[in-house]
Structure 1
Amino acid sequence: MRVVIAGGHGKIALILEKLLTERGHSVAGLVRNPAHAADLADAGAEALVADLEKATVDEVTGHLIGADAVVFAAGAGPGSGAARKETVDRDAAVLLAEAAEAAGVGRYLLVSAMGDHLRADPDTFDEEFGIYMRAKAAAEDALRARSAPRPTIVRPGLLSNDPGTGRVDLGDRTGTGPIPRADVAAVLLALLEDPQLDGRTVEVIGGDTPIADALSVLAAR
């Protein structure tokens, strides 16, 4: 399987790239900064230089030819300002979907964010976080409205850098809770290798169920 990851130098992406490589898959990461190529190489991934805030659909399409799946793991990050929440977390996610369709990529995994349907009450969150949440919600809506590729949306809980446990709580709704980035990456790997939840929107936090079992239980519902 050939997988291309947008936000290829992010923490979750680097873990996922290593996991995919260890499983014998071909993986590449889209990065803005060519200097990050060495870190991707250490994870076993090819670096494809593309700034999703500036690139055209045609430019990104060229990077996706031959891919079986794309993963959007990019994010503007804390302190990046309101404008970049929209150009990265919303617009770049949509651009990747347009390019994936043009390249004939059939599968799209979106790393989103957990919230009350992601539509933040401006009185509940600070302004920048509210914009981030609404940008994620808009990206989800835009992807669901497309005929292809059909998105699988993953909403993780509060991310940590703790070691992964391989055990999660996975569901249509889980409630809030923490989860190591390593376990999010492992869930993404499992979803890529097992398409039974393709097209679903799932939430994931730390839990007691082995990841493969959690996928099978949810798929049976």
Structure 2
Amino acid sequence: MDVLVAGGHGRIALRLLRLLAEQGHTARGLIRSPSQAADLTAVGAVPVIGDLDNDETLDAYVKGADAVVFAAGAGPGSGPARKRTVDLGGAVKLADAARSTGVRRYVMVSSIGADRPEAADESMRPYLRAKAEADDYVRASGLDFTIVRPGSLTDDPGTGLVRVATELGNRGSVPRDDVAAVLAAVLATPATIGKTFEIFTGDTPIPEALSGL
């Protein structure tokens, strides 16, 4: 499988790209800076240089993929405007490119709280609004989507054990390792198509958790 991961230098994305490459897939990471290419090559991924913000279309990067994963983000130090151009605009642009190039499978890395952005504190509200609108756009796109909403992210070692919730509004944490493992498993699990779910550290092996969706 050929998978393009937008935001390819992110902390979840690099973990995902490594897993996909280890599984024998063509793991391509979309990055803006050529200086990041060596980090992708080091995990077995193929760097793809492109500007999620400013390129008019992502068609050239998406073409030929079997699936795309949106794992980009403006980051905690960015303002509301950039969250709309990256967390929302980038996700929309990737969905449009998938549709125009005939790529059906789209996996979105979203966030807990995106179902109720107005309940968040003022600093988080712009981010969650952008995520909520991006999720809505992808759901309405006609693509074979899966929206994954991780809990609070940690750098603890992954356990491979998670709790999956389709009833939204939960709280908890989850290692980035396990988020990446869930994303890789989602791509191989057709039962996740059309689903939106939250993930947290739990006691259920990832394949079993996803098969129950």
| TMscore range, shorter length | over 0.9
Describe the SS at the equivalent of 2:117: coil
Alignment match, 1:4: 4
Alignment match, 2:106: 108
- Aligned CA distance change for structure 1 residues 116 and 2 (closer, same or farther; 3 Å): closer
Which of 70, 73, 88 is residue 71 of structure 2 equivalent to? Answer: 73
Is 1:206 equivalent to 2:201 in the alignment? yes
Distance in 1, matches of 2:4 and 2:32, equals: 14
Return the letter of the residue paired with 2:71.
A
Describe the SS at the equivalent of 2:16: helix
Alignment match, 1:28: 28
Structure 2 residue runs of 5 or longer lacking an equivalent are: none
Alignment match, 1:189: 184
Alignment match, 2:172: 177
Cα drift, residue 116 of structure 1: 6.0
CA contact (8 A) 1:7 1:29 kept: yes
Aligned length, in residue pairs? 212
Alignment match, 1:160: 154
Alignment match, 1:131: 126
Cα drift, residue 84 of structure 1: 0.6
Distance in 2, matches of 1:191 and 1:26, equals: 16
Distance in 2, matches of 1:43 and 1:119, equals: 35
CA contact (8 A) 1:28 1:47 kept: yes
Describe the SS at the equivalent of 1:168: strand
User: Which residues in structure 2 correspond to 1:45-56 (within 5 Å)?
Assistant: 45-56=45-56
Per-residue CA shift, 1:99-127, capped at 9, x if unaligned?
01111111000000101614223xx402x
Distance in 1, matches of 2:125 and 2:20, equals: 33
CA contact (8 A) 2:114 2:132 kept: no
- TM-score normalised to structure 1 length: 0.93
Cα drift, residue 216 of structure 1: 1.4
- Superposed CA RMSD in Å reads 1.1
- Aligned CA distance change for structure 1 residues 116 and 78 (closer, same or farther; 3 Å): closer
CA contact (8 A) 1:169 1:204 kept: yes
User: Which residues in structure 2 correspond to 1:85-96 (within 5 Å)?
Assistant: 85-96=83-94
Per-residue CA shift, 1:16-69, capped at 9, x if unaligned?
001001100001000011100000000111111111110112xx1111111000
- TM-score normalised to structure 2 length: 0.96
Per-residue CA shift, 1:134-191, capped at 9, x if unaligned?
00001011111222x2321000000000000000001203611000000000000100
Distance in 2, matches of 1:184 and 1:164, equals: 9
Return the letter of the residue paired with 1:43.
V
Return the letter of the residue paired with 2:34.
P
Return the letter of the residue paired with 2:95.
A
Describe the SS at the equivalent of 1:120: helix
Structure 1 residue runs of 5 or longer lacking an equivalent are: none
Task: Please identify runs of 4+ aligned residues in structure 1 that moved more than 2 A.
Answer: 118-121
CA contact (8 A) 2:114 2:129 kept: no
Return the letter of the residue paired with 1:188.
L
